[in-house]
Amino acid sequence: MNISTPTLRVGLAGLGTVGAGVWHRLASQKDLLRQRIGTEIRVDQVAVRRAERAREIGVPESHVVSDWRKLVANPDLDVIVELIGGTKDAFELTQLALQNGKHVITANKALLAERGAELFATAQKHQRHLLFEASVAGGIPIIRALREGLVANRILSIHGIINGTCNYILTRMNEAGLEFKDALAEAKQNGYAEADDSLDVDGHDAAHKAAVLAALAYGFWVPEGQLYTEGLRAVEKQDIIYARKLGYGLKLLAIIKTDADGAVEVRVHPTLIPQSHVLASVNGVFNAVLVRGDVVGDTLYYGRGAGGDPTASAVVSDLAQIAAHFPQEQKARNVGHEALHSRLKTMDEIVSRHYLRLQVVDRPGVLADVARVLASRQIGISSVIQPEAHAGEITPLVLMLHDAPESQLQAAVLEISKIGAVKAPPVHLRVEDFE
């Protein structure tokens, strides 16, 4: 007796780099996917603004519509893949699709960070999947690792290099001795940074991804505006040089971790990490996420975090997960709707070690003045670097500081900036030792 192969019918919204990759991968891997999961995954309809784009990709004209609303309204589609970007239309598409009984797959981390709580509540109400493996770290299966592979663990911490543009810039500043503006220009020339670079280099892209990871690990969405975010614009070549002399590398790091009382910190900023640590060796456009579980210990996930093929691979992986249980319906798992009684720490509460670079006039008593301010805030100095200079010249003064609450450190930096011998705004970076 012949048993027909079930078919998962897909609507694809968006034919940019990732959308085109999804179309091609589903076509080229069609037989492999059917063999592995026992279901055919078939794109029946594609929404794209420019019909000529669809022709370039090789999408049959009969499949093409100009309005994503036609996908949502199509009763024959089982899944919508949202790859249109932005948050306004993407939210409306996702919300309506779920309400219309369709599963949704998205790569849109900004959408999830800003409206995730609403969307997952809708998914749960209508018992549909909202999957998002491609939203963080491209082809690295970090979402599935947190949801499935580490399900028996309480997540103690997540440290992520999750923006390839920033990692490329810092790598080139370190390896080639470039200043930030020159490394950024090179990243744009090589296609690793957009003309409008603010989403990447100001840390917002990494913050969106950190919000998604925090929701998976701790069950709540960080309220808008409360995720501390700091980009690379204040970092100079000399900071990377001094960090190296002190035994550290510099990375834009997403830090998500909990303490013994269940309070959670979620932050993104340039961070000094020991050169001996595995994350310090993650260079170029590669991403890496280090997850510490209370049972398994440390696990590392590494790979290309962006680009059409890695992200398309993650989208197809989500499609395969749905197809593997199709046509039987599987209960949608919720994310970030029922918090695990966690409290978000404010940045002022965060305790860490610190790097401080000052531009000072080389004269007797300057270091003593700085040390006096720090001591008044109960902040100790662990090491000092000051290049040899002639009396009266302006020279860098670099200090590594012991653990201190962020609020005390910021107050001390403000007071230090008012010392007459300090001739430029202090540069402050945080240190992560992974203890």
Known catalytic residues are: 209
The answer to whether 402 touches 379, Cβ cutoff 8 Å, is yes
Of 197, 175, 177, nearest to 187 by C-alpha is 197
For residue 349, give the DSSP letter: G
Q: In sequence order, what DSSP letters do the residues of 217-257 get, joined into one string? A: HHS-PPPTT-SEE--STT--HHHHHHHHHTTEEEEEEEEEE
β-strands 263-274, 427-431: how paired? Answer: parallel
Q: How far apart are CA 104 and CA 80, in angstroms?
A: 5
Q: How far apart are CA 30 and CA 38, in angstroms?
A: 11
Task: Give whole-number Cα distances, 354 to 210, 243, 383, in Å.
Answer: 22, 11, 11
The answer to whether 67 touches 48, Cβ cutoff 8 Å, is no
For residue 202, give the DSSP letter: T
147 C-beta neighbours (distance < 10 Å), count: 15
H helices, E strands: number in the chain: 15, 17
Q: Which residue has the tokens 């590494």?
A: 302
166 C-beta neighbours (distance < 10 Å), count: 31
Nearest 5°: the CA angle 146, 129, 163 is 45
- Identify residue 69 by its one-letter amino acid code: R
Q: Which residues contact 359 (CB under 8 A, 6 or more apart)?
A: 394, 395, 396, 397, 422, 423, 424
- Identify residue 291 by its one-letter amino acid code: V
